[in-house]
């Protein structure tokens, strides 16, 4: 079949989990013939080896089981989005075209969030899939980070991105660059992040005189700027 290829239409769009017992579990999607354009099925290969003597058991630790559940949910959510995209209208196709527009080029970005199960949700952005969940103590299954953790992670990773660009601009290899983030939740209402502390570990080869400049550049990353000049946020029923 000719036509545009999507991430899910490619049979190689798969995740692999290596278990503590040495099994490679493969989770992915394959086109489902005869079920309409965009239809796909979820595949799970438990990675049996010849020495397993035909057994089909997968031995998982608790964290591995949560990871597997998260990957399966993400693949299921992606399959649903693929089907919706395939049968979408011309208007929705136009919207998806806007999705590919990078931030800062004047076009709106778009992220889709869909309910999965329990307290978990699937996030879709430009063909990438990720999950959010809640810890066990908050009623979730702890198969993914929380939205609040992703919020802090977006700041830390944006700082890392800008710091990396600074290193490259000054001829310093990025190997060893790390950003550690800690955050505190407010003790009063409304619920919110009250404080974030970031520590940038830079390569030893970065000259001392360049370090203040790196901090200055990282402090003006897009996410940090957005926190200092908050965007207008509107919430409405679709």
Q: Does residue 3 belong to any structural domain of this protein? A: no
pLDDT tens track for 199-211 = 999 999 999 999 9
Same domain, 165 and 127: no
Do residue 20 and residue 134 come from a single domain?
Answer: yes
Find, among 168, 238, 178, 176, the residue nearest to 210 by Cα: 168
Q: Which of 148, 159, 145, 150 is nearest to 198 (CA)?
A: 159
Residues 112 and 185 in one domain: no
What pLDDT is recorded for position 38? Answer: 64
Q: What is the CATH number of the domain that holds 193?
A: 3.30.300.20
Whether residue 8 is contained in a domain is answered as no
What's the pLDDT tens digit per position in 115-126?
Answer: 988 999 999 898
Domain identity same for 120 and 59: yes
Question: Does residue 4 fall inside a structural domain?
Answer: no
Final residue in a domain of this structure, among 138, 161, 196: 138
102, 189: one domain:
no
Report yes or no on whether pTM surpasses 0.85.
no
Task: Check whether residue 130 and residue 168 sit in a common domain.
Answer: no
Q: Write down the residue that tokens 């200055």 correspond to.
A: 216
In the chain, the number of structural domains is 2
Q: What residues make up the domain containing 68? A: 14-138
What local confidence, expressed as pLDDT, does residue 57 receive? 74
Q: 117 and 23 in one domain?
A: yes
Looking at residue 61, its pLDDT comes to 86
Tokens of 214: 């790196």
CB 80 within 8 A of CB 92: no
Residue 175: both structure tokens together: 């190997």
Least reliable range by pLDDT among 30-34, 64-68, 133-137, 233-237: 30-34
pLDDT score of 156 more than 80: yes
Please identify, among 106, 138, 170, the residue that sits at the C-terminal boundary of a domain.
Answer: 138
Domain boundary among 76, 106, 138: 138
């Amino acid at each position: 079949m000719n036509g545009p290829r999507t991430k899910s239409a490619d049979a190689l769009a798969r995740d692999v989990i290596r278990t503590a017992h040495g099994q490679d579990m493969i989770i992915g999607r394959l086109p489902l013939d005869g079920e309409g354009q965009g239809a796909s099925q979820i595949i799970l290969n438990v990675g049996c080896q010849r020495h397993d003597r035909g057994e089909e058991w997968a031995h998982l630790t608790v964290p591995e089981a949560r990871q597997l559940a998260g990957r399966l949910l993400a693949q299921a959510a992606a399959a649903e989005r693929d089907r919706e995209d395939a049968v979408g209208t011309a208007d929705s196709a136009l919207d998806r075209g806007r999705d590919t527009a990078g931030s800062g080029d004047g076009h709106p970005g778009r992220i889709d969030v869909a309910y999965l199960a329990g307290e978990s949700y699937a996030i879709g952005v430009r063909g990438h899939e990720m999950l959010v969940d809640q810890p066990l103590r908050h009623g979730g299954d702890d198969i993914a980070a929380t939205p609040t953790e992703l919020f802090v992670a977006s700041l830390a990773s944006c700082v890392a991105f800008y710091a990396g660009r600074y290193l490259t601009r000054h001829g310093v290899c990025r190997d060893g660059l790390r950003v550690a983030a800690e955050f505190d939740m407010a003790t009063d209402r409304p619920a919110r992040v009250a404080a974030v502390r970031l520590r940038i570990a830079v390569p030893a080869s970065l000259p001392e005189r360049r370090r203040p400049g790196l901090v200055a550049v990282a402090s003006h990353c897009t996410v940090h700027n957005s926190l200092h000049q908050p965007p207008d946020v509107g919430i409405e029923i679709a």
